Structure 1
Amino acid sequence: MAEHEAVTGGPTSVEYIQHHLHNLSIGEGFWTLHLDTFFFALGLAVLLGWAAKKVGDNLDPDNPTGLQSFFEVMFEFVEQQVKDAFVGYNPLIAPLGFTLFVWILLMNAMDLLPVDLLPYLAALVGIHYLKVVPTANLDTPLALAGSIFALIIFFNIKIKGGLGFIKMFLFHPFPAGNVIVKILLIPVNILMTTIEELAKPVSMGLRLFGNMFAGELIFVLIALLPWWIQFVPGGLWAIFHILIITLQAFIFMLLTIVYLSIAHQSMDEEH
């Protein structure tokens, strides 16, 4: 398709790829706001909230609808992960894990739409750039990971106390017994613990972004093939990508549960 367009004066392959990876944005530099990412992420969040409210308002344990059954299966699945990975009890964890899992799954699933469909429809109303996968934009995964990081800090301080939180940086991960050695190891502990804590949101965000961006790019590359060839590789990649989008949502949700579980442990339990 792209080769034909290049011959007839349309975009080249490089221009086609760059166009599909370009966001609808306002602002410049650090203050750039990706409107398409915000719109689709917010829209899917509203859709999830509306569906959850609809199920809650019409809850019927005897004759559940398909949507109710879906939510029940998802919640029971997440609840089991919480039971297996979370130490202690916090009523926030299961609903948080459920929301993250389903919301990220919905955002990831936008990658299964034909790559030219929504951009083409947007172009008809004068919108020339449109990226439809929020998690393929670094802003969304890092924002999600940053929110989890804020909860990790909050629960660390709540469970350990302010002094306990500071002690975690001073005497972890090398809690030597000798007082002099403890003092000497404080700079090393501060550095190691800071790196360890910051690595949590960074790794969560970059893992989700990397997998979704790569998946989107492969779909764009497949779209460069002649239309009569696209169906086989596109269909095979879509089937495989269903596993990827589900797995990435699961990993993000599970890491959230694990990291919050660690935050709920006292210093003695961690050691």
Structure 2
Amino acid sequence: MAAESGGGLTEYIQHHLKHNMVADGTVHLDSWATALGLGLLFCFWFWSMARKATAGVPSKGQAFVEMVIEFVDGQVKDVFHGSRTFIAPFALTIFMWVFFMNAMDLLPLDLIGLLVTLIAGEETAHNTYWRIVPTADPNTTFAMSTVVFIMTIFYSIKAKGGWGFTKELFTAPFHAHGVGAKAALALPNFALNVVEYLSKPVSLAMRLFGNMYGGELVFMLIAGLAASWVTFFPGVLFNAAWAIFHILIILLQAFIFMVLSVVYLAMAHEAH
């Protein structure tokens, strides 16, 4: 995955944008494996901190974990007014997992290629594809937003009942009196509700994907800028500046994904 020697910047970017695919290209192995590994890392980290937690003066690690948990729980408490027994851990998982996946964008672009070169040689590295940022892959973001969508439907039915949820699809947002008027507005109401429900997971997934994909492309362009000795030092300065700014994007996108997920669940949980 190192920079191509003769292909130029375009081939270099195309190489880094290619996924490691299996099952005839339907599964992006790199996104799946990296996301799974980061999720297990998050679970192990918080489990180990909870296992070693003390009632006295907490360690720095315990204090940090407690601060994150209290922050997420406070955000959920402000938005979701039902039982937070499941929603708060769910929101914490979303926030930390998305943050971990976003943070992979801060790793050196050619790190995987360098490791493969040292282990298996340059030829193998040239034919190895591994995109390290799972959230720059729409498969990852749409998978997460689909889970949120399914939970939204579940909480809607739980709060309003199966008949109440179905009735709301055909009677809101436009209300009418009389059988004829209700029948006339049934299809427009249903169409608007379908668009509203489907737009939530689509916007949730595309917002995260677009920001992380754009950030990844900027890092690739900067890496191409620093490919020669003439532009090496300006490229390093630009890369450092963008990485510092990108930390804010990484945190902000994880926070937005978490908050919007909780907001959608809260809206579904509210019985009309």
TM over 0.5: yes
Q: Which runs of 5+ in 2 are unaligned?
A: 227-231
Q: SS where residue 183 of structure 2 aligns?
A: helix
- The amino acid that maps onto 2:31 is T
Contact 1:122 1:130 (8 Å CA) reproduced:
no
Q: Which residue of 1 aligns with 2:229?
A: none
Alignment of 1:1-271 (within 5 A): 10-28=6-24, 32-123=26-117, 124-125=119-120, 126=124, 128-226=128-226, 227-267=232-272
Please report how far the alpha carbon of residue 117 of structure 1 lies from its aligned counterpart in structure 2 after TM superposition. Answer: 1.1
Aligned residues between the structures: 260
Please report how far the alpha carbon of residue 66 of structure 1 lies from its aligned counterpart in structure 2 after TM superposition. Answer: 2.3
> Quick one: percent identity of the two aligned structures?
45
Please report how far the alpha carbon of residue 159 of structure 1 lies from its aligned counterpart in structure 2 after TM superposition. Answer: 1.3
Please report how far the alpha carbon of residue 217 of structure 1 lies from its aligned counterpart in structure 2 after TM superposition. Answer: 0.4
Please report how far the alpha carbon of residue 27 of structure 1 lies from its aligned counterpart in structure 2 after TM superposition. Answer: 2.6
Q: Give the Cα separation in 2 of the matches to 1:201 and 1:13.
A: 34
- The amino acid that maps onto 2:62 is Q
Q: SS where residue 6 of structure 2 aligns?
A: coil
Q: Give the Cα separation in 2 of the matches to 1:118 and 1:144.
A: 26
Q: Per-residue displacement from partner, 1:198-245 (whole Å, max 9, x unpaired)?
A: 001000000000000000000000000133222111111111100101
Q: Give the Cα separation in 2 of the matches to 1:217 and 1:107.
A: 16
Q: Give the Cα separation in 2 of the matches to 1:194 and 1:71.
A: 39
Please report how far the alpha carbon of residue 121 of structure 1 lies from its aligned counterpart in structure 2 after TM superposition. Answer: 1.4
Root-mean-square deviation over aligned CA pairs = 1.6
Q: Give the Cα separation in 1 of the matches to 2:116 and 2:143.
A: 26
Contact 1:97 1:253 (8 Å CA) reproduced:
yes
Contact 1:119 1:131 (8 Å CA) reproduced:
no
Return 111-120 or 191-200, whichever deviates more. 111-120
Q: Which runs of 5+ in 1 are unaligned?
A: none
Q: Per-residue displacement from partner, 1:55-102 (whole Å, max 9, x unpaired)?
A: 111111323222212211111111111111112223111111111001
Q: SS where residue 62 of structure 1 aligns?
A: coil
- The amino acid that maps onto 2:29 is L
TM-score for the superposition, normalised by structure 2: 0.91
- The amino acid that maps onto 1:241 is H
Q: Give the Cα separation in 2 of the matches to 1:66 and 1:40.
A: 27
Please report how far the alpha carbon of residue 118 of structure 1 lies from its aligned counterpart in structure 2 after TM superposition. Answer: 1.9
Q: Give the Cα separation in 1 of the matches to 2:113 and 2:261.
A: 33
- The amino acid that maps onto 1:45 is G
Relative to structure 1, is the Cα distance of residues 18 and 164 closer, same or farther in structure 2, using a 3 angstrom cutoff?
same
Q: Give the Cα separation in 2 of the matches to 1:207 and 1:119.
A: 29
Please report how far the alpha carbon of residue 256 of structure 1 lies from its aligned counterpart in structure 2 after TM superposition. Answer: 0.8
- The amino acid that maps onto 2:108 is P
Return 105-114 or 9-18, whichever deviates more. 9-18
Q: Give the Cα separation in 2 of the matches to 1:65 and 1:216.
A: 35
- The amino acid that maps onto 1:182 is K
Contact 2:77 2:84 (8 Å CA) reproduced:
no
Q: Give the Cα separation in 2 of the matches to 1:10 and 1:218.
A: 21
Contact 1:137 1:209 (8 Å CA) reproduced:
yes
- The amino acid that maps onto 1:19 is H
